[in-house]
Chains A and B, each alone.
Chain A
Amino acid sequence: MRVLVTGASGFLGRAVAAAIVAAGHEVRCLQRRPSGVTGATDVLGTITDPAGVAEAVAGVDAVVHLAAKVSLAGSPADFETVNVGGTRTLLAAARAAGVGRLVFVSSPSVAHSGASITGSDAEPADPARARGDYARTKAAAELLALAADSAELRVVAVRPHLVWGPGDTQLIARIVERARAGRLPLLGHGAALIDTTYIDNAASAIEAALERVDAVHGNSYVITNGEPRPVAELLAGICAAAGVAAPAWSVPASVARTAGSVIEAAWRVFPGQDEPPMTRFLAEQLSTAHWFDQRRTRADLHWTPAATLDEGLERLAAHYRSL
């Protein structure tokens, strides 16, 4: 199968492209910077450029769409342009080019209203309920993608939850950096159960979705390790792997949420160099439970996670030791 992967220079995109190459497919990657994926062909460009996208999809059998603005801050218009506009552009190009399969890589936050999730399956994406610009625009994009699902273009949405692993510059690097600086508090008592996805598992699940799209198109699937843990244990495990001290102080969850709202608002007015240290969305994510029912995902995608949480942490530790 000839497969286009968008956003392959990102942490997850690179792993997904590599997994698809490893599965014996011919892979083309579309993103602004070189993907660095061995065995894949790079097409440099942006997802918001219709001509470039049309060129990239020409002749492929399937598209795996990861390109997105993933951030905790930024102007709402940017999120809209990249996440919604980019998806719309890609869908139009794919239809025009007669592409048969599309895997839309989404996020569980598209259906997350901020309340605890304790073992529910993928709920429908809902831009009205989703928290923050990222989740809202990804929700709108997932709805667009699934609306495009048809006999000719089979679309499936997969939502890996909190992907982490060696080389992650988003989640892991930020946690470790802040912990090292003594700026990583626990929110609340840290007992909220959170499920995460080790990078190799996320990549293999998306690859599995690509193989299974003809049978499962039209659906959304949450992807996780299926091993929820108290958030404090997860942070401690990550810090231990990186050789830094685990958070030893905590901020009440309600304070963090309020602070998150204030900081988020301030960042809109005075955008900083870095991302805001706390947003309301992040505060909610770190102080409420979110773990999912994985039975349908595993049965439909014919997939089980290969690496356990503990194995993932060992590989992370090996990675930090090698730095």
Chain B
Amino acid sequence: MVSYRLPRVATALAPASLPPSGLPGLDPAWSRIVDVVETGGLADGATHAWHLLDNGEQLAALGVEPVGTVLCVHGNPTWSYLWRDLVAQATAAAAAGQPAWRVIAVDQLDMGFSERTGVARPLARRVRDLDDLTRTLGLSGPVLTFGHDWGGVVSLGWAVDHPELLAGVLLLNTAIHQSETEPIPAPLRLALARGMLSTGTVLTTAFLDTTLALGHPALPTAVKNGYRAPYRSMARRGGIGGFVADIPVDAEHDSHAELDRIAESLRSLSVPTLMLWGPRDPIFSDRYLDDLIDRIPHADVHRFEGAGHLLAEDVDYAGAALTWLSGLDKLDQRSVEPVALVEPVALVEPVETQPLWHYLDELHDSDETALVDMAPSSGDGPRVVSWRLLSRRVREIAAGLHQIGVQKGDRVSLLVPPSADLTAVLYACIRLGAIVVVADAGLGLPGLTRAVRGARPDHIIGALPGLMAASALGWPGQKISTNRLPFASRKALGVSYALADLISLGRDEELPEPPLPTDVAAVLFTSGSTGPAKGVVYTHGQLAAVSRALHNQYGVGRGTGLVAGFAPFALLGPALGARSVTPDMDVTAPKTLTATAVAAAVSAIDATVVFLSPAALANVVRTQGALSPADRAALAGVKSFLSAGAPVSEPLLASAAALMPGASAHTPYGMTEGLLMTDITLDGIREAALDDVARGPGGVCVGRAAATTRVRISALDENGRAVGELSEAAGVTGEIVVSAPHVKDHYDRLWLTDLAATRQVTPGERWHRTGDVGHLDAAGRLWVEGRMPHVITTAAGVVTPVGAELAVSALAQVSRAAAVGVGAAGTQQVVLVVETIPAATRVSLAEPDLAEDVRMVAGHPVAAVLVVPHLPTDIRHNSKIDRTRLAGWAHGILTGARLTQP
């Protein structure tokens, strides 16, 4: 029994009642009281009254037959009020002719407006209580459970006990298992502490208040009061204390066995499952999500970055759930009708997939150079690594990792700067089948922390700075250092092994079976320049396809000398059989790469191919004055160079081409989700620049689709939504949608994002909606006109920003420009925000002459021209203008707000 720890007032009895009227979002018509006879246990035969929300009568009044029931169970210390949006949206959807879902949201006994029973109700009793209720209701299938917090556990208990009714499982932040090795969350430890339990949960509203303070953004007072409504007195809060007391802190606890039973039963659960998660939860952190995914690996998962424990208040969980449910509806129909066979994609020739490490096997006894590290962390000159050594190290590290328990499918976060060490560790993980998690230091520490936490690595392999951050910020996972650290540092940072230990451990060990092409190989994080960083999942087959695409497009292959100055491509050197060199540069600041450093890297391996980021390229051009004649001679040997990551201007590319006169200059178009989608050369850019018809509404020409890549456009409607069927028609502006064997597999734990990125595509084919907007021209070239969220919807039609920006930037007195929309969607006004030459010292309205010039060339009616000293850009590329932020700022200025810097 648990009641001994709670005060007498917690055993007060009270009948069930209806909620007071006027609670925001709650329709009194949903409320009903149901008498339920308890079965089993000491009180067998006792009757208890439940309060629940149920839209069944409203559906009946609409004359619609429900396709199923969603049974919602709240946690502690909330009540069915938590589910009001779902009841409302499900009812509204049914009224609008969409599939009708009956939603029943219960107040658990002793909670909300249900009866106060006066006795402790441990977990097993609560699962049985719910069963008593659903039998009384005569609930028939299909039923989907939806739980939050400890209500998630109760709902899962019901779910595993009712396989005959169960059609699916939905969860908001829930914990089903408490690892013996990890402490329970601090807030709960506090709540359970002797003396605190009664005071915190029953005698005062502390636990309730703390929970209601977890909204992101903060809950409106009226909503908080809605949550407080059933818990106004101590006598009504016994259930809150009871729930906390029922947390099975150890194996001795009454409810431990039941929790274990439910947790283990989940492993055999085969129904569709959706987990919606708010990671900013001090109680149910990501580790509990990880545990749930481990038990139900087929679950659809969406982490709402920035949302927390009260996910139901933070985000539109109800819309997400109904979207997911509607997908199930379609699945049912599909299972009735035979599925049409998907036509094989003619463009994509079946290719024998070579594993990413095949050159390491082939060349294991070659003394040719595989890697050169121009500035190894040891500090002594260039470090040269042969194929023989690299091959052996990769094997040893892979075997060593295996020895210390790293399994195929484990996630390994790599916090190692580009170097020979990184290459060896990366290929070791790949060979072992461990999933590498790669986040760019350019995300900044907060972004990186979110990324690493979200990806839940099982292991972190890092250099000292990375490990210090990991330790300081509490990143999860076993820690492995690249260098041997003094004992004190190892202890302080929680480092269990150094790379050298792994090499020794793995020296004479056999490697396990290699992963398959369909196994997940890597999670790469997006730049975050267009929202929170997203994890992008690639399989081994898809990464191999990336290297094949590079081979096809740029001829990088066996023996090619490659300067690897652009991270994602650089790492593929060994997979391509190339001899690659990492130039001397601070990778977190690509604009520190000098022309001399590139020349030194080129001559170290007689490189013929150079990969750089645009920021690096700009600095190389800027620092060319320091080049010696020998440096220039080395650069003259380069056959092709490529600047990837963001669009490059013709003048910059031309300046770089002048440094490498023997090279063809390329700039590809791609994204973390599809690294090489189109390519254009400097000559191609110049040719396109002359073609006014092809330019259409303007944009940056990024060339033709790469081999095995298909590029389509989904036309915009007047509200700026990409609703058109995928089309190759020339001159139509819309969202750019791509398909290739080397496009990502899916987003990591972002089910909704995945859904959006694959909306309207042919089932069975792998397409990616890029979020970029643009058009194809008659010659099949792609023009990028901006980002989808930056499309301006004027009364005269949609306006994409890049065309106007390029035209205005071409004015003599303008250095850069951004076009943004202000005002109500559909009738927005175009505003140009410009940096001038010379730069302005303060924000102002443009002088009449400048405003007139801008209006003359912009190509659209322009409401206002604002001058700023500096346009805000993202930290990673230092080139992508943050138009969303700028639009908000311009809106403020143009409604009379103070003239602040954007």
Contacts and interface: CB of A to CB of B under 8 A. Distances in A.
Interface of A: 116, 118-120, 188-193, 226-230, 232-233, 236, 253, 287-289, 291, 293-295
Interface in B591-630: none
B895 A289 contact: yes
B866 A191 contact: yes
B864 A230 contact: yes
A293 B826 CA distance: 8
B899 to A, nearest CB: 5
A16 B844 CA distance: 39
B795 A294 contact: yes
19 contacts: A118-B894, A119-B826, A189-B844, A189-B893, A189-B899, A192-B894, A193-B829, A227-B861, A227-B863, A228-B829, A230-B863, A230-B894, A233-B845, A233-B848, A233-B851, A288-B895, A289-B894, A289-B895, A293-B824
Contacts of B829: 119, 193, 228, 291
Contact of A188 (B795, B866, B896): B896
B766 interface: no
Contacts of A192: 894-896
Contact of A190 (B824, B828, B845, B891): B845
Given A291-B823, A294-B827, A295-B826, 4 more contacts: A192-B894, A291-B863, A293-B795, A293-B826
A295 B827 contact: yes
Interface string B813-831: 0000000001110111100
Contact of A288 (B822, B828, B851, B896): B896
A16 to B, nearest CB: 25
Output the residue of B828, B844, B864 with the most chain A CB within 10 A.
B864
Given A288-B895, A291-B829, A228 B795 contact: no
A198 to B, nearest CB: 15
A77 B338 CA distance: 78
Contacts of A228: 829, 863-864
A318 B481 CA distance: 80
Contacts of B823: 118-119, 291
Interface residues of B, number: 23
A175 B827 CA distance: 29
Rank and list the top 4 A-B pairs by shortest CB-CB distance, nearest first.
A119-B824, A119-B823, A116-B895, A118-B823
Interface in B842-861: 844-845, 848, 851, 861
Interface of B: 795, 822-824, 826-829, 844-845, 848, 851, 861, 863-864, 866, 891, 893-896, 898-899
Given A230-B894, A236-B848, A193 B864 contact: yes
B848 A191 contact: no
Contacts of B848: 233, 236
B828 A119 contact: yes
A191 B864 contact: yes
A295 B866 CA distance: 26
A236 to B, nearest CB: 6
B893 A191 contact: yes
Contact of B824 (A120, A193, A230): A120
Contact of B827 (A116, A119, A236, A288): A119
A163 B23 CA distance: 47
Nearest to A229: B863
Output the residue of A116, A119, A188, A295 with the most chain B CB within 10 A.
A119
Contacts of A230: 845, 863-864, 894
A116 B823 CA distance: 10
Contacts of A193: 822, 829, 863-864, 894-895
Output the residue of B844, B895, B898 with the most chain A CB within 10 A.
B895
A295 B795 contact: yes
Contact of A118 (B822, B845, B864, B898): B822
Nearest to B890: A191
A118 to B, nearest CB: 4
Nearest to A240: B848
B824 A118 contact: yes
Contact of B896 (A119, A229, A287): A287
B401 to A, nearest CB: 58
A189 B734 CA distance: 37
Contacts of A188: 896
Contacts of A119: 823-824, 826-829
Given A189-B845, A230-B845, A233-B851, A289 B824 contact: no
A235 to B, nearest CB: 12
A287 B893 CA distance: 11
Contacts of A190: 845
B828 A253 contact: no
Contacts of A120: 824
A293 B894 contact: no
Contacts of B822: 118, 193
A192 B898 CA distance: 10
Contacts of A232: 845
Contacts of B844: 189
B844 to A, nearest CB: 8
A243 to B, nearest CB: 15
B514 to A, nearest CB: 59
B430 to A, nearest CB: 53
